[in-house]
Amino acid sequence: MRKKRWVPWVLVGPALVVVFATTVYPLLAALYYSFHKYDLRKIPQFAVQLASQPGDPLISIDWSLLSLRNYTLAFSDSRFINSLNVTFWFTLFSVALSVIIGLFIAVVVQKNGRLQSLTKVLLIFPFAVSPALKGYSWRYMLNDQYGIYDLLAVELVIKPINVIIELLNNLPLIDITPINETVVWLADQFWALFMLAMSETWGWAPLIALMFVGALGSIDEQIFEAARIDGANRLQIFWRVTLPLLRPVILIVTMLKTIFSLKMFDQVVTMTGGGPVRATQTINYYIHQVGFVRNLDIGYASALSYILVVILTVFAALYVSKVLNRD
Amino acid sequence: MNLTRKIVCLLTLALFLALPLAAVSAQDHMDPATFGLDASKPYDGTHLDFLICCAAAPQFASAAFKGAEEFTAMTGISVTFGDVPFGSFQEQLYLEASNPNTEFDIVAFVDAWGTNIYDYLHPLNDFVMDAGIDWDDYGPAYQSASTGNSDTIYGLPFRGHPLLLHYRADVLEAVGADVPTTWQELSEVSQAIVDSGMDIAPVSMYYGLNVDQNLFNWYSHLWGAGTDIFDENWEPIFNNEIGVAATEQYASYVRDGYSPAASVAWNEQEANQELIQGRAAMFIGWWWMASRMLDAELPEVSDNAAFAPAPGWAGGDIASYGYLWPVGILAQSDDLEASLEYMKWLTHPITERRIVLDETSGLNTNVAVRLSILADEEVNAAHGGLQGIASEVLSTARTIPLIPQYTEIVPILAETINEIAIDANADIQAILDIAAEDVRFVMQAAGYYDE
């Protein structure tokens, strides 16, 4: 029977149209805009012009309207450089915390039991919360008047530490200043960024934990048995057996979380507003400000977006080629 | 005749008498001529789209929705309200205004955002003249905000807000203090509250970063003290000696412990919440927030709610920011004439008065923009004299620099104020100098200087 070559195209066609319209076209358009001076406040002038009158060439290009200005401007823009710095530290904190806490949760809940099963079900809820809502919730939970996290931090951490400091201060030659019990988390440049990362960890660590639970369940029990027979204690088994076997999953979740962290936006808007000062202005937040709120400079915002795309691509390629392929 | 029958008869009689009165009243509202509308319904069947913010906020919802059916009945024009939350409204406004194919005909916008869409708005000068709109019925600040300090009217005042001092009368009475009329008096009253040992923060400020709200009261300090953001040549001057003194005063409320330490991260809503929940005695904010204090759950707050004009500067001026949402028509609207008909009705004094007097819809609001409505005795009686206070504030209120670059400058200023607030030892002069350099860089890039 003769194979009908057009059938696959008909079947895939609708999906291709949707992908082109929602992904390929915006990507290409943004790249095109990034070489233009495109101010949303004015009627834009683009380099490629279609014929407007009979006799004109079908397509003409005005090269004078194209330039690399937006890209060169980015690297002298202190606000953009600040956003790169903020995004780097945010990514570092949020990825490290999410993976470490996720792993810890997974180890705790991996065994079968009613409580563990219930916990596994509940774990998905923080991830299901919308990022914007997460930001609002954390903002209120960190409030020094009625915030639950602030209360816990003060009662369970700061006050006990201050008691110890007081005891130490009774010793000769020791004079330590107690920690201020009125901590305004979102007014401190370090703590605001750290808490932003924690809000992200709160949503992601449980999901990562579930991924680790799955990975842990797939490890052959005989491997642990052999290690125990060889005299390894629990810590040694975790460090020498469990962790190396989880390495591929750790790498995958690290890569996934890194890509999501580099795109952080929602919680910045609802939790910190980019502050204090500029301490939590991530790249995506800054791009949004440049494009749609402050400068209305779509050309420059597109160029900044492409710099972010390059960073993401380089990062993903590095992981895939240097790390995952090695395993 | 027993008592029940008597009551029924009386009620029937009252209803019988009330019906003609109601009919006369409805007739008055339903007469197109009352609003200057064309009774021949030339735009019958036309549909308009109105881009407006915050349907959940009574000040917007009341203005948008009350009586819209009445307008449709008089003109045959129907209106859909494209409600957008405040958080994403600015972005939506710019995208719709710059979109040649936008579905929206009419837009409401914040004064500062308007500067970026002036080229996309239909000038309303001829409309104002032809429709007989009394332009002088709007205060100077609102006129400036509607025109961008030019000769072109880009929008008509729609929702407008003066800054008021919201305070607890019982707390001030307990410490024997008069209502502060200057910022310096505000500090004195705050000190008296601290000295009294009362368990309440004297004042609740907002220095956090959130839609630039931390600048609202800073402007009042600057202008009151006698300086400004720019001089007449668009050179930044907020870092001069007077600007530093004004900023020192503004930062002093948190530095001196009168405003809670957390206020360095608060936005306007959070600061207002302190007042509503009984943890603060004074708050300086927009007048539309007055109803929150009046409706507070705590009786000690609602029973003692009081309002006064925002303070001025001792020995200087009283000048605060008059914040306006004008309403305009997009130049690309296909239904310009129908949109103008709607504007006649929407901004008409009768419509505005009815909105502030209506207590039946659950969308109660005190917000009015016309001086005649602010001076209206019945309106003032319904709102405890709030409109009279607003009128007093608006007589000296000003607007911010209405240039397109200001949306780029505002984050520089807001971050500067935030930086000064979060560090009690911050060198105010040095930080303002850096901000002035950044502002100058933006203005220079925009071609404001001959250099």
- pLDDT tens-place string over residues A282-291: 999 999 999 9
- B154-191: b or e for each residue (b if 16 or more CB lie within 10 Å)? bbbbbbbbbbbbbbbeebbeebebebbbbbbbbbebbb
Q: What is the pLDDT of residues B313-347, one digit of tens each?
A: 999 888 999 999 999 999 999 999 999 999 999 99
- Three-class SS state of B18: helix
Check CB contact of B111 with chain A, cutoff 8 Å: no
Instruction: Please give the pLDDT value at position A279.
Output: 95
Conformation bin of residue A80: beta by default, left when phi > 0, alpha when psi is -120 to 50: alpha
Question: Mind listing the pLDDT tens digit for each residue in B154-193?
Answer: 999 989 999 999 999 999 999 999 999 999 999 999 999 9
Instruction: Give yes or no for residue B4 having a pLDDT over 80.
Output: no
Does residue B209 sit at the A interface (CB-CB below 8 Å)? yes
Which uninterrupted H or E stretch holds B323? strand B323-329
Residue B407, Cα to own-chain centre: how many angstroms? Answer: 18
- Look at residue A119 in the predicted model and tell me its pLDDT: 84
Rounded Cα gap, residues B420 and B418, in angstroms? 5
B71-130 per-position pLDDT tens digit: 899 999 999 888 788 878 888 999 899 888 999 999 999 998 999 899 999 999 999 999
pLDDT at residue B215 tops 60: yes
Q: Report pLDDT for B91.
A: 87
Backbone dihedral region for residue A189 (phi beyond 0: left; psi -120 to 50: alpha; all else: beta):
alpha
pLDDT at B62: 64
B92 touches A at CB < 8 Å: no
B328: phi > 0 → left, psi -120 to 50 → alpha, else beta; which? Answer: beta
Domain spanning B163-321+405-445, CATH architecture: 3-Layer(aba) Sandwich (3.40)
- From A294-308, B11-25, B60-74, the region with the lowest mean pLDDT: B11-25
For an interface test with A, the pick among B206, B415, B434 (most A C-beta atoms closer than 10 Å) comes out as: B415
**Chain A contacts of B260, Cβ < 8 Å?**
144-145
Task: Judge whether residue A71 has pLDDT over 90.
Answer: yes
Q: Classify B31-161+323-382 by CATH class.
A: alpha beta
- Residues of A within 8 A of B274 (CB-CB) are 145
A183 CB within 8 Å of a chain B CB: no
User: Which pLDDT does position B22 carry in this prediction?
Assistant: 45
Q: Do B262 and A143 touch (CB under 8 A)?
A: yes
For position B21, what pLDDT does the model report? 44
- Classify B185 as helix, strand or coil: helix
Q: Which residues of B touch A40 (CB under 8 A)?
A: 94-95, 98, 116
* A contacts of B90 (beta carbons < 8 Å): 292-293
Q: Say whether residue B424 is in contact with chain A using an 8 A CB cutoff.
A: no
pLDDT, residue A2, reads 65
* ipTM greater than 0.95: no
How much of chain A, in percent, has pLDDT values that exceed 90?
Answer: 50
Measured between CB atoms, does A121 come within 8 Å of chain B?
Answer: no
- Residues B135/B255, Cβ–Cβ less than 8 Å: no
Q: Assign B406 a pLDDT band (cuts: 50, 70, 90).
A: very high
**Mean per-residue pLDDT over chain A, rounded:** 89
Q: What are the pLDDT digits (tens) for A141-194?
A: 998 888 898 889 888 888 999 899 999 988 888 888 888 777 889 999 999 999
Looking at residue B23, its pLDDT comes to: 42
Q: Write the pLDDT tens digit of every residue in A218-238.
A: 888 899 899 999 898 988 998
Pairwise CB contact (< 8 Å): A186 & B265: yes
Is some CB atom of chain B closer than 8 A to the CB atom of A184? yes
Tell whether the model's pLDDT for residue A200 goes beyond 80. Answer: yes
pTM of this structure:
0.86
The two beta strands, B156-161 and B47-53, are unpaired
Name every chain B residue with its beta carbon within 8 A of the beta carbon of A295.
407-408
Kindly list the residues from chain A whose CB atom is less than 8 angstroms away from the CB atom of residue B418: 275-277
Tell me what the mean pLDDT of segment A267-273 comes to: 93
* Residue B193: both structure tokens together: 């509250």
Contact A184 B261 (CB under 8 A): yes
Q: Please tell me the predicted confidence (pLDDT) of residue A137.
A: 93
The boundaries of every CATH 3.40.190.10 domain in chain B are 31-161+323-382, 163-321+405-445
pLDDT tens digits, one per residue of B42-67:
999 999 999 988 776 766 766 666 66
pLDDT at position A193 is 96
- CA distance readout (Å), B173 to A238, A282, B28, B284, B384: 67, 48, 47, 19, 20
Average pLDDT of the residues of chain B: 89
